[in-house]
Structure 1
Amino acid sequence: MFLRLLLVAGAIIAALVALFIPGSPEREPYVQGRNKTALFISNIEHGLSNVHVATASALLEGYPDIEVHFASFAKLRSKLARVSAFAQAKTPAAKDIIFYELNGLSFYEAVLLLGGDLEKTICPPGIAGIDQFTNSLQDWISPWSADEHMVIYDQIGALIDEIDPAVVVLETFLRPALDSTRDKNRMHAIISPNTLVDNFLGDQPYGSMFWKYPALSSGFDFPVPYRNMLENIYLNFRFIYAAMLTPNLSAKKAELRTRGVKDPINFLKMHRPDVPWITMNTEGASIPVDVVPTNVTCAGPILLSVAPASEQDPELAGWVSRGPTVLINLGSGFSYPINYVRPMVEAVVDVLTKTHVQVLWKFNKYGEYSDDELAPLKPFLESGRLRLSNWLPIDVLSLLETGHIVASVHHGGSNCFHEAVSAGVPHVILPLWVDLYNFAALSETAGIGVWGCRDTSPTWTADGISSAIIKVVDGGEASISLREKSRSLGDKLRAGEKGRDISAREIAKLAYVK
């Protein structure tokens, strides 16, 4: 639930503050261990780990001579086992991913201990929501206490010593792993679901990060309209101010230094020119930047692709194939509070009444309320035009690739966005916090989606949701344009090399010790 709040937030703040922080000193060459060995380390949350799992899968298939090790928390074990089995079905020489379970708190669990919850996460775009976000920024950067940080830090250090990998593959929000790897001066790379504009605004010339590129959480169009420029500058400086004045984080860093961590939680200098950085930046579905650091690889969508939908769940795949289907899936962590389920129920009824589509809705409750709230859906459930499920037995990308999904209704998370882009499916985005607003605006700028409830976000209205969905599926002029642009972009991406294969190739280069 909290991942989208952080994922791009931290990346942009790091880029912003980089303008005001001196460059890093020269370092000794990184240590490479055993030839043909890669150690992935990630959180378990889908928004943070999917790019790593997808890359590991492609590494198994394309480079079966490389040992793939993966350290994470317990919930990722079964997913990696499934990925190994699928890779072996495609490449018999592929080995199993060797999994190591980390003890301690996962990111999500650590956030919960800080009092994070849905109500605190949802915030409006722009100035109206800036205080809510920046006031909690220091806790989102690294939610673990010093003790919890050291539990993971020490485990990672021991694993690196035991495995002795040629390369360690990291993400930006498992801070203890990044600290441990860098303290051991090991060769490493970072894979991020972010795009260039999320991570490298500080590299853009003429201070264009302030006047040209939409600030995090602004939801402004690109380039920033003149009428929004002053607000954009103000938002950027608020992020800088919040990132530099983090007393709780400073105290934690000081304590970690006393325990031997050399440069703890250096959030503002995560990017190093000598560390390969792989991003999901996608031409045609990302804001273009003027300067790309030489160590950055733009891979496009880095997505996990396993078995076709018909193999994962033949019954559901058969239902989807009956006709045009709207998929409503607001990410792996979102559940519906009562004030969000009511407008969605009303909107679904309206869409099913006015169109001939069917709807697959991934639905989970947040809080306690009666099932009677769903009563208006009963006729459509009984007729078979609507399905509600608290989980999807088919991976989202495989569902989208069936060709039967005519609209992907999601929250604007990077994975959801890139899955629909890759499959050539138009978006209906219902953003609720921070960077989600920028993906919603981007979908409209690119002509591949609609920002639902734009005038009321993050509050939903039934009319705002249903009118956005109907605009995409009704077959009118706007609908045709959205479908054609989405399909054209998807066709172009599928005709080229897959992002996960590009990412795997970059990691393989480091796994082969010269």
Structure 2
Amino acid sequence: MFVRSLLLTGALIAALVAFCLLGSPEARPPYIQGQNRTALFISNIEHGLSNVHIATATSLLENYPDIEVHYASFSGLGNKLARVSKFAKAKTPAAREITYHEIDGKAYFSILPLSITPPGSAGVAKFASDVQTWISPWSVEEHMSIYNRVGALIDEISPAVVVLDTLVRPAVDSVRDKNWMHAFITPQTVAENFIGDQPYGSMFWKYPALTSGFGFPVPYKNILENIYLNFRFVYAAMLTPQLNAKKAALRERGVKDPINFFNLHRPDIPWITMTTDGVSIPLDVVPVNVTCAGPILLSVAPAHEQDPGLTQWVQRSPTVLIALGSGFKYPLDYAEAMIGAVFDVLSKTDLQVLWKFDKDGDYSDDVLAPLEPFVKTGRLRLSKWLTIDIMSLLESGGIAAFVHHGGSNCFNEGLAAGVPHVVLPLWADLYNFAAIAENVGVGIWACKDTSPNWTAKGISGAILKVTDGGETGISLRQRSKSLGDKLRTGEQGRDIAAREIAKLAYVKKGQGEGP
């Protein structure tokens, strides 16, 4: 009886949400398409957010060299785009270079404060209070500046299609107000974007909430908490006063439907995701215009071409790669826990460690003193930034374990390379990817009982378990290799995504053509 009441509650809430948020489909004139064989990509600069777009753009250069590719983003992406253009041209001499357009404004993660939150009910209040910032961190003035710049670029380039990042909301608003043909590419899976479309209110009782870290399907004991987490998030996204005030101010300035969180997906607009069968959480209903491409990954030049010295070092001995995403810097307590873990691993094994480390806060470098002997003997390398793209590093064959934060891009890079994961989730959807890594058998959720806080023992224990000769480590490595081999032999996600964008870039005469 209790279970039936619980499911009924979830279904009723879901129906109410659907009624309030979806409404009737909006009647729109045909989307405008501009110049034939022209695509404009707009994304954030952070690797975890932009790599799916750059990977798709690179595939367009290689496989559809007659398509003119433009790319707009904030300061810091121009050199990377020039590099991938050069690599694409080496593979396909007819490939053009990407034309880069800089957008004045702050990058997404430069505005967002570091918001480390625990999984489940303990963290949902904090996450919900920050949801307006996660949805769109720019001020009204900044939003309008980006909105106007994107509008001017569309007028100047007149692309056949604009390829959007869901988290550059001013660009989404600008493109939609101009009724221009567009598509979305997202590093997230269908489970992060479309659980609200599932029948019988199953978003509440079957599918793990964004901040939960629950397995799939949601365990019986966690159903009530999962309902609460989903309802709390929906409530916050709908009724956040700060976000609603920003929307009102933008409407006054002429933006028609600003920052509409719940109307992002449209049935007539292509949506491309990094969803892999057998690895991602399966949905009962996936919208027909959604393409599940699997890993959409940027693999530029081989590792030895990017940095021969580092590649040689990585391949000298099994290496643990520690890289927690472009948006994370180490507060002192997190740095101390990782230092203790690295010391423990290097003291007990013959492994090497490559650690992408950057400080958050003004603390002394003396905190790294325990690791100095390993730096001197050449078994540890620390760097604020890696000189080789992570995917190329993973493909080099020298990485024994990949320690990351659970971002979708990192998860898919490790998955495709066949390298087992050690996941240290810190907020929101990162917990879901940590749970998936364990459920699928390709990794370990480290410090699970203390997340998001770390202990040196929790981190080193997970690394040692993945890399030793024990039953768990062997199973994780075999499962990772098997999945990686399968993904590498099939059609690559970046090529699937590029094909979908190419369909829109080739304008059919008389169908929505621009001036």
TM-score between both structures, scaled by the size of structure 2: 0.94
Q: Deviations over 1:81-130 (max 9, x none)?
A: 11111111111101111111112333234x2xxxx432xx0111101111
- The match for 1:417 among 384, 398, 411 is 411
Instruction: Name the residue aligned to 2:81.
Output: 80
* 1:196-345 equivalence runs, <5 A: 196-345=190-339
How far apart are 1:23 and its partner, in Å?
3.5
Matched to 1:124, the amino acid is P
Instruction: Name the residue aligned to 1:53.
Output: 54
Q: Residue 344 of structure 1 contacts residue 462 of structure 1 at CA under 8 Å; is this kept in 2?
A: yes
Matched to 2:499, the amino acid is R
- The match for 2:442 among 434, 444, 448 is 448
Residues 504 and 85 of structure 1: CA distance in aligned 2, closer, same or farther (over 3 Å): same
Instruction: Name the residue aligned to 2:511.
Output: none
- The match for 2:125 among 131, 136, 141 is 131
Matched to 1:141, the amino acid is I
Q: Residue 15 of structure 2 contacts residue 201 of structure 2 at CA under 8 Å; is this kept in 1?
A: no
Instruction: Name the residue aligned to 1:185.
Output: 179
Q: Residue 405 of structure 2 contacts residue 430 of structure 2 at CA under 8 Å; is this kept in 1?
A: yes
Matched position secondary structure for 1:503: helix
Q: Which ranges of 4 or more aligned residues in structure 1 deviate by more than 4 Å? A: 14-19
Residues 440 and 259 of structure 1: CA distance in aligned 2, closer, same or farther (over 3 Å): same
Instruction: Name the residue aligned to 1:91.
Output: 92
Q: Deviations over 1:332-371 (max 9, x none)?
A: 1211111011111111111112222111111111112222
Instruction: Name the residue aligned to 1:44.
Output: 45
* 1:393-404 equivalence runs, <5 A: 393-404=387-398
- The match for 2:458 among 461, 464, 472 is 464
Residues 210 and 472 of structure 1: CA distance in aligned 2, closer, same or farther (over 3 Å): same
Matched position secondary structure for 1:159: helix
Instruction: Name the residue aligned to 2:33.
Output: 32
Choose 331-340 or 448-457, whichever is displaced more. 331-340
Q: Does 1:147 align with 2:148?
A: no
The Cα RMSD (Å) is 1.4
Matched to 2:62, the amino acid is E
Q: Residue 326 of structure 1 contacts residue 357 of structure 1 at CA under 8 Å; is this kept in 2?
A: yes
Instruction: Name the residue aligned to 2:361.
Output: 367
Q: Residue 37 of structure 1 contacts residue 167 of structure 1 at CA under 8 Å; is this kept in 2?
A: yes
Matched to 1:42, the amino acid is S
Q: Residue 453 of structure 1 contacts residue 461 of structure 1 at CA under 8 Å; is this kept in 2?
A: yes
| Structure 1 residue runs without a partner (length 5+) | 1-13
How far apart are 1:260 and its partner, in Å?
1.6
Q: Deviations over 1:228-266 (max 9, x none)?
A: 111001111101111110222222212222222111111
Matched position secondary structure for 2:160: strand
Matched to 1:25, the amino acid is E
Instruction: Name the residue aligned to 1:62.
Output: 63
Structure 1 CA distance, aligned partners of 2:194 and 2:16? 8
Structure 1 CA distance, aligned partners of 2:157 and 2:248? 30
TM-score between both structures, scaled by the size of structure 1: 0.94
Q: Deviations over 1:30-75 (max 9, x none)?
A: 1111110001111112222111111111100000000001111121
Matched position secondary structure for 2:40: strand
Matched position secondary structure for 2:480: helix
Structure 2 CA distance, aligned partners of 1:174 and 1:23? 26
- The match for 1:481 among 475, 481, 506 is 475
Q: Residue 109 of structure 2 contacts residue 327 of structure 2 at CA under 8 Å; is this kept in 1?
A: no
Q: Residue 39 of structure 1 contacts residue 169 of structure 1 at CA under 8 Å; is this kept in 2?
A: yes
Matched position secondary structure for 1:39: strand
Q: Deviations over 1:344-400 (max 9, x none)?
A: 111111111222211111111111222221111122112111111111100000000
* 1:383-394 equivalence runs, <5 A: 383-394=377-388
Q: Residue 331 of structure 1 contacts residue 411 of structure 1 at CA under 8 Å; is this kept in 2?
A: yes
Instruction: Name the residue aligned to 1:504.
Output: 498
Q: Residue 310 of structure 1 contacts residue 318 of structure 1 at CA under 8 Å; is this kept in 2?
A: yes
Q: Deviations over 1:408-441 (max 9, x none)?
A: 0000011110000010000000111111111111
How far apart are 1:19 and its partner, in Å?
5.9
Matched position secondary structure for 1:380: helix
Instruction: Name the residue aligned to 1:8.
Output: none
Q: Residue 280 of structure 1 contacts residue 300 of structure 1 at CA under 8 Å; is this kept in 2?
A: yes
Residues 360 and 17 of structure 1: CA distance in aligned 2, closer, same or farther (over 3 Å): farther
Q: Residue 309 of structure 1 contacts residue 394 of structure 1 at CA under 8 Å; is this kept in 2?
A: yes
Q: Percent identity?
A: 70
Structure 2 CA distance, aligned partners of 1:122 and 1:247? 23
Matched to 1:107, the amino acid is Y
Matched position secondary structure for 1:34: coil
Residues 70 and 126 of structure 1: CA distance in aligned 2, closer, same or farther (over 3 Å): same
| Structure 2 residue runs without a partner (length 5+) | 1-13, 509-515
How far apart are 1:16 and its partner, in Å?
10
How far apart are 1:300 and its partner, in Å?
0.6
Instruction: Name the residue aligned to 2:9.
Output: none
Residues 34 and 347 of structure 1: CA distance in aligned 2, closer, same or farther (over 3 Å): same
Q: Residue 284 of structure 1 contacts residue 489 of structure 1 at CA under 8 Å; is this kept in 2?
A: no
Residues 18 and 104 of structure 1: CA distance in aligned 2, closer, same or farther (over 3 Å): farther
Q: Residue 56 of structure 2 contacts residue 497 of structure 2 at CA under 8 Å; is this kept in 1?
A: yes
Q: How many residues align?
A: 494
Instruction: Name the residue aligned to 2:113.
Output: 117
